[in-house]
């Protein structure tokens, strides 16, 4: 019986792997003639119960301000292809992830300014709920398939002030994303939990050049997201040293 169960497990695992490979392969064919960019970047905004309206606005305002930053724009323009593709997902519990900025190519100041304006003006659309980092990782992985542009790198940017407490084990979501060549970076907002950065380093982030950026509070988010965007755009290959020693 035990041997039969193991074989069944292996068979199911192989079926899932083949299904993912087939899906990714079909998508690669559909995108063969698409525009190419240096980076496909999914940015996420925490809208869980712990995030009030002011904190939500500090996230959207800080992210918008980062796209207006001269150094960020110059980093995009100086990249090999001179362009990135970005999107934004608001998220909370396992059942609440809302796409609020569809895939948009940014290739200079004009597009960056437009993206900044759209992010700054976006309303809060998710239902308040728990913190499902695993669900937003899954949602972002699926959403890469809808991107009409092809990127040399695919990155999910997880910003949160809490640990995964809704949905499946975050490590399983992370590992499946990494198996598809997707990097996950983290922005840990330490206002609710001072050790959240360690949690992100152990359970959330992974992939080539992955890192954790800290924001001491929501008021510090604007500085942290700027630093994070610069590292992601430039493809800064910092080592995956334990948190606090990067």
CATH of the domain at 126: 3.40.50.410
The predicted structure's pLDDT at residue 34 = 61
Mean pLDDT of the chain: 86
Lowest mean pLDDT among 75-89, 121-135, 200-214, 230-244: 230-244
Specify if 241 maps to a domain: no
pLDDT digits (tens, 9 = 90+) for 13-64: 334 343 444 444 444 444 445 689 999 999 999 999 999 999 999 999 999 9
Domain span at residue 5 reads 1-30
Residues 124 and 162 both lie in one domain: yes
Q: Please give the Cα distance from 135 to 126 (Å, whole number).
A: 13
Predicted pLDDT at 127: 77
Q: Is the confidence at residue 202, as pLDDT, over 60?
A: yes
| Shared domain check, 84 and 12 | no
Kindly tell me if the per-residue pLDDT of 81 is higher than 60.
Answer: yes
CA geometry: angle 33, 36, 38, nearest 5 deg: 160
CB atoms < 10 A from the CB of 29, how many?
9
Reported as a pLDDT band with limits 50, 70 and 90, residue 2 is very low
Query: What is the mean predicted confidence (pLDDT) over 173-196?
Result: 97
Residues 69, 181 share a domain: yes
Domains held by the chain: number = 2
What pTM did the predictor assign?
0.83
Q: Which two tokens stand for residue 91?
A: 């998220």
Q: Pick the residue with more confidence: 30 or 173?
A: 173
- Provide the total of helices (H) and of strands (E) in the chain, helices listed first: 8, 6
Q: Is residue 185 located within the same domain as residue 220? A: yes
pLDDT > 60? residue 238: no
């Amino acid at each position: 019986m035990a041997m039969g169960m193991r074989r069944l497990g292996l068979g199911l695992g192989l079926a899932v792997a083949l299904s993912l490979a087939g899906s990714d392969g079909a998508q690669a064919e559909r995108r063969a003639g698409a525009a190419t960019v240096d980076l496909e970047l999914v940015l996420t905004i925490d809208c869980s119960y712990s995030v009030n309206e002011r904190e939500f606005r500090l996230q959207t305002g800080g992210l918008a301000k980062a796209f207006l930053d001269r150094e960020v724009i110059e980093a995009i323009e100086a990249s090999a292809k001179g362009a990135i593709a970005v999107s934004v997902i608001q998220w909370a519990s396992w059942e609440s992830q809302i796409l609020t900025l569809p895939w948009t190519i940014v290739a200079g100041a004009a597009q960056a300014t437009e993206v900044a304006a759209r992010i700054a003006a976006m309303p809060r659309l998710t239902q308040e709920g728990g913190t499902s980092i695993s669900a937003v990782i899954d949602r972002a992985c699926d959403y890469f398939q809808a991107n009409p542009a092809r990127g040399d790198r695919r990155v999910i940017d997880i910003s949160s002030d809490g640990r995964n407490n809704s949905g499946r084990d975050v490590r399983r979501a992370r590992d499946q994303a990494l198996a598809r060549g997707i990097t996950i970076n983290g922005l840990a907002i330490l206002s609710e939990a001072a050790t959240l950065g360690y949690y992100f380093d152990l359970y959330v982030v992974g992939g080539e050049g992955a890192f954790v950026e800290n924001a001491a509070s929501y008021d510090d988010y604007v500085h942290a997201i700027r630093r994070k965007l610069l590292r992601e755009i430039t493809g800064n290959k910092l080592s995956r040293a334990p948190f606090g020693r990067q």
